[in-house]
């Protein structure tokens, strides 16, 4: 037998050929394992004071801060695309920030009034809120600061009052992003005692002390005035610790567990998915968005393909819900697919 004959015999019989399932678009679509849908997305939005105002976040091309009137228009456009859930963040002037984040409980203030206006015009919209002190704090930290230390238990009372105020304004789901120990249980009890048993909690369960938050802090002008957040946000080197946080949040009454950031922590998303019966959310954060946008603007990669591949990776890792600044663009692409 010649070498040619042997080679032909070796290659002619291949009982398993995975490429057969890749031969056409129809077959690839039929056997696709993971699918994105617009209902997977939560769109983070930024509100600022004023009227008729819209300013682009310099480090997040295509993302804007809106005054409440224009934010209502933006939410209407998103609803038309099938996006139904929005995570609302406030951009406040420094004059309204103080040590105790008192503006967070001001029923006539920007944030709570905006929640009411959105729910009045779009009752079908699901409004998720942010529960943390940093947007309202003169110290820029997620907790109460005393002599350079972030106080855990003293912060819980402030967060609980903030949570109840948001629920009373009409919030459907609260997002405690502070990473204080025990805050989910403390908030759950406060909400239930105030008659808000049906308001859900999406806990920032595994929120890491990440370098990928920079553009978000630009959007809110909420960077810490001293130090960093490493005493309460998780160490990026730690994996097992996420299981401890998930166990605690579940026991304390969380309805959904979140991993933040998403792309650099796909293993953590998968870990929680394998170890929890609760829905798992992942926050595709501002820095992850900004990297793709910057590279696309420079012609270094195909922005749309990179966006969809990234979102698919987050879903494939096990996320049921994806908070992403790409929500509008992805919704438009999925609608036209």
Exposed, middle or buried, 19 (CB in 10 Å: 0-12/13-18/19+)? exposed
* Lookup: tokens for 220: 């809110």
Q: Which of 161, 207, 229, 315 is catalytic?
A: 207
Number of helical (H) and strand (E) elements in the chain, helices listed first: 12, 12
Q: What is the mean pLDDT of the chain?
A: 93
Q: What is the pTM of this model?
A: 0.92
**Rounded Cα distance, 92 and 97, in Å:** 8
Domains of the chain by range and CATH?
34-336 (3.20.20.70)
pLDDT of the residue at 124: 97
**Rounded Cα distance, 3 and 25, in Å:** 37
The answer to whether 245 is a known ligand-binding residue is yes
pLDDT of the residue at 3: 57
**Rounded Cα distance, 130 and 90, in Å:** 9
Q: Which of 161, 260, 293, 315 is catalytic?
A: 260
**Rounded Cα distance, 78 and 85, in Å:** 9
Torsion of CA 217, 323, 161, 250, to 10 degrees: -130
**Rounded Cα distance, 82 and 149, in Å:** 44
Q: How many CB atoms lie within 10 A of CB 66?
A: 22
Catalytic residue list contains 260:
yes
Terminal-residue alpha carbon distance, the chain = 52
**Rounded Cα distance, 279 and 267, in Å:** 16
Beta bridge partners of 45: 88
pLDDT of the residue at 12: 73
pLDDT of the residue at 1: 53
**Rounded Cα distance, 123 and 119, in Å:** 5
5-46 per-position pLDDT tens digit: 555 555 678 899 999 999 999 999 999 999 999 999 999 999
161-191 per-position pLDDT tens digit: 999 999 999 999 999 999 999 999 999 999 9
**Rounded Cα distance, 55 and 161, in Å:** 31
* Lookup: tokens for 129: 């809120």
pLDDT of the residue at 220: 66
**Rounded Cα distance, 263 and 182, in Å:** 27
DSSP 97: -
Judge if the upstream peptide bond of residue 261 is cis by omega within 30 degrees of 0: yes
Catalytic residue list contains 119:
no
**Rounded Cα distance, 173 and 86, in Å:** 10
**Rounded Cα distance, 57 and 75, in Å:** 18
**Rounded Cα distance, 168 and 314, in Å:** 33
247-279 per-position pLDDT tens digit: 999 999 999 999 999 999 999 999 999 999 999
Considering the chain, what percentage of its residues have pLDDT values greater than 90? 84
């Amino acid at each position: 037998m010649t070498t040619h004959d042997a080679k032909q015999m070796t290659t002619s019989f291949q009982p398993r050929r995975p490429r057969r399932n890749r031969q056409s678009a129809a077959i690839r679509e039929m056997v696709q394992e993971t699918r994105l849908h617009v209902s997977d997305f939560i769109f983070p939005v930024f509100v600022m004071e004023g009227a008729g105002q819209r300013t682009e976040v310099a480090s997040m091309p295509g993302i804007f801060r809106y005054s409440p009137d224009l934010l209502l228009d933006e939410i209407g456009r998103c609803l038309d695309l099938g996006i139904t859930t929005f995570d609302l963040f406030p951009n406040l002037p420094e004059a309204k920030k103080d040590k105790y984040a008192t503006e967070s409980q001001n029923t006539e203030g920007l944030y709570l009034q905006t929640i009411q206006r959105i729910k009045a015009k779009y009752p079908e919209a699901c409004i998720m809120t942010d529960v943390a002190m940093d947007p309202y704090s003169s110290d820029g930290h997620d907790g109460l600061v005393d002599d350079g230390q972030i106080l855990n238990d003293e912060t819980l009372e402030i967060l609980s009052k903030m949570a109840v105020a948001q629920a009373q304004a009409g919030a459907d789901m609260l997002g405690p992003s502070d990473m204080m120990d025990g805050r989910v249980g403390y908030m759950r009890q406060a909400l239930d005692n105030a008659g808000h048993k049906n308001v859900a909690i999406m806990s920032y369960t595994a929120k890491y002390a990440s370098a990928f938050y920079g553009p978000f802090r630009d959007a809110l002008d909420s960077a810490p005035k001293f130090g960093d957040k490493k005493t309460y946000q998780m160490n990026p080197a730690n994996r097992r610790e996420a299981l401890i946080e998930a166990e605690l949040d579940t026991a304390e009454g969380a309805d959904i567990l979140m991993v933040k950031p998403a792309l650099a922590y796909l293993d953590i998303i998968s870990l929680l998915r394998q170890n929890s019966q609760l829905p798992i959310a992942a926050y595709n954060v501002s820095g992850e968005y900004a990297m793709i946008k910057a590279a696309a603007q420079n012609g270094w990669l195909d922005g749309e393909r990179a966006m969809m591949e990234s979102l698919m990776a987050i879903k494939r890792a096990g996320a049921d819900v994806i908070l992403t600044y790409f929500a509008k663009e992805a919704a438009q692409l999925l609608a036209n697919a």
